[in-house]
Structure 1
Amino acid sequence: MSEYYDSELEEIKKKRLEEFMRRLEEERRRKEEEMAREAQRQAILRRIMTPEARGRLANVRLVRPELARAVEDYIINLALAGRLRGVVDDDTLKRILLELDSRSRRDYRIVIREKR
């Protein structure tokens, strides 16, 4: 009887270990794919942006990472669609930042009501 439980326990341990190893491998593969996609994005941005514009975007990323990501996506989409003329310089990046920032900002209003 004890041998039965021991073999059953070993089988459970083996299945758990296999599942753990499978998950670990999937996570490693997912991270590698994400790193490859990010490297490809950065390569595209290096080709279509001036060093000054990339520096400004890096500074924006420190403060507002979601805005920097939106700007990167916007610029990459323009380039892939063939609607980007030349490289993105600092002035062009400033205009894009203002446009995308104004779209994402919410207008907050504070209303103070007097007590009666």
Structure 2
Amino acid sequence: MADPELEAIRQRRMQELMAQRGAGSHQGPEQQKAQEEAKSEAEEQRQLMLTRILTSEARARLARIALVKPEKARGVEDVILRAAQTGQIVEKVSEERLISLLEQINTQTSKETKVTVSSSGVEFARTSS
């Protein structure tokens, strides 16, 4: 689908990371501005690709999720973009398909809290399934 665009974003991100490691906190204002511009451009490209992949209803649902759980929405976006890049998504993702994907992710990342009471005390354990 958008392989050259994704590759360009990856390359820019790698350059940003390399610059951050090399320069550390000794960056000049020009470098910081350039990095911020690169980040905003990469984010714009990401949003453009999501616009191409998702229906308007699916985008609206994902935006509502992002208000409550931004890290979860970002993860779902990443999954969708990877699937589009590998050709697993050939048509626009509807809201119903997005809901199905969210349910799959929730079952994979659900957490359980287990309380065990014994003579030595109370133990709490949180596990991911």
- Alignment TM class, shorter chain as reference: 0.7 to 0.9
Structure 1's unaligned 5+ residue stretches are: 1-19
Cα offset for 1:105? 2.9
Residues 55-96 of structure 1: CA deviation (Å, up to 9, x unaligned): 000000011111100110000111111111311000000011
Q: What SS does structure 2 have at the residue aligned with 1:82?
A: coil
| Over 3 Å off, 4+ runs | 112-116
Aligned-pair identity in percent equals 32
Structure 2's unaligned 5+ residue stretches are: 1-24, 122-129
- Root-mean-square deviation (Å): 2.2
- Which has a greater percent of helix? 1
Paired with 1:52 and 1:93, the residues of 2 have a C-alpha distance of 10
The two structures have a TM-score, normalised by structure 1, of 0.74
User: Alignment length, in residue pairs?
Assistant: 97
Name the stretch that deviates more: 53-62 or 23-32: 23-32
1:24 aligns with 2:29: yes
The two structures have a TM-score, normalised by structure 2, of 0.67
- Which has a greater percent of strand? 2
1:34 aligns with 2:27: no
Greater RCO structure (CA 8 Å; 6+ sep): 1
Structure with larger Rg: 1
